[in-house]
Amino acid sequence: MEIIVCVKHVPETAEVELKIDKTGRDIEKSGLVFDINEWDDYAVEEAIRIKEKLGGNVTVITVGSEDADSTLRKCLAKGADKAIRITDKRINTSDPYIIAKILSKTIKEMPFDLILTGAQSSDDGYAFIGPALAELLDIPHVTLAKKIEFKDRSVIVNRELEGGLEEVVEVELPALITIQTGINEPRYVSIMGIRKAMKKEIKTVSIDDLGLSETEVGIEGSWIHVSEVYIPSIERRAEFIRGTPEEVASKIIEIIKSRGVI
């Protein structure tokens, strides 16, 4: 089983106060800690579990700068066999269609049975690249996978729907599946894994290697243009009512009356 996992190197922003950069189209990333995208971490774990069960190889691919090597090495330390980083300053990395196009050009030259991606990324949340990549490669895809099983040359996938429902679908290989969190429990990186990962090569590829021009991967070829990023203003604030039970009740009645409820 030849498995490819597309991963993204993203900033951890859950517990930091974000600031907009000078361009007004992105956040200020200096000083932020970067790591593998949460959904992609589950995708890597699922790929390694499939390899351990069925044999084969796992290749992880990302589009990004040299800083993204730390994410690729984390994947190698967990058990991935190969890593590829597509890197070029001419790439408009803010457009998921451009990223999907670049990934498709890279993967077309590789043998694969299964492609896994995270269901979405924590920084933009588009949930776009997986389905777009499958369309560009002309292969079937399934999104939001919660369970994966194999049957001959097909894969049976339990996918998450709204309202807590699940749908079971079967598609022929090769196929692409986007992974939802909770499908497994990602393993910790071992010291031995880290040592082995440091010795492995990370192959770098440019858009010239892929036969792509700057007009195809830059702003000119983008479908999506970020015009502005801003922090929403706070329009309402919680009001805490203090006092004795009688005083609190009286205040609540006044608020309800002022708003025409009674």
Q: Is residue 120, in this structure, part of any structural domain at all?
A: yes
DSSP state of 188: P
- Is position 259 within any domain? no
What pLDDT score was predicted for residue 164? 84
Residue 225 has pLDDT above 90, yes or no: no
pLDDT tens per residue across span 144-202 = 999 999 998 999 999 999 888 999 999 999 999 999 999 999 999 988 888 989 999 99
Residue 59 bridge partners (DSSP): 4, 82
208: which residues sit within 8 A by CB, 6+ positions away? 88
In a domain, 233, yes or no: no
Question: Residue 36's Cα: distance from chain center in Å?
Answer: 8
List pLDDT tens digits, range 244-257. Answer: 999 999 999 988 88
Q: State yes or no: pLDDT of 74 exceeds 90.
A: yes
- Band of pLDDT at residue 231, cut at 50, 70 and 90: confident
Total domains in the chain come to 1
pLDDT digits (tens, 9 = 90+) for 43-67: 999 999 999 999 999 999 999 999 9
The model's pLDDT over 85-125, given as tens digits with 9 standing for 90+, comes to: 999 999 998 899 999 999 999 999 999 999 999 999 998 88
How far, in Å, CA of 97 to CA of 168, rounded? 28
pLDDT at 201: 94
Compute the average pLDDT of residues 73-82: 96
pLDDT of res. 233: 80
Q: Which domain holds residue 32?
A: 2-221
In a domain, 206, yes or no: yes
Q: Residue 253 falls within a domain, yes or no?
A: no
pLDDT higher than 80, residue 261: no
Residue type, 86: I
* Interval 19-30: pLDDT, tens: 898 888 888 888
CATH code assigned at 81:
3.40.50.620
Residue 48 within a domain: yes
- Greater confidence (236 vs 211) lies with 211
Question: How far is residue 46's CA from residue 3's CA, in Å, rounded to a whole number?
Answer: 10
Give the separation between CA 147 and CA 160, rounded to whole angstroms.
9
Q: What is the mean pLDDT of residues 198-217?
A: 95
Is 101 part of a structural domain of the chain? yes
Residue 238 lies in a domain: no
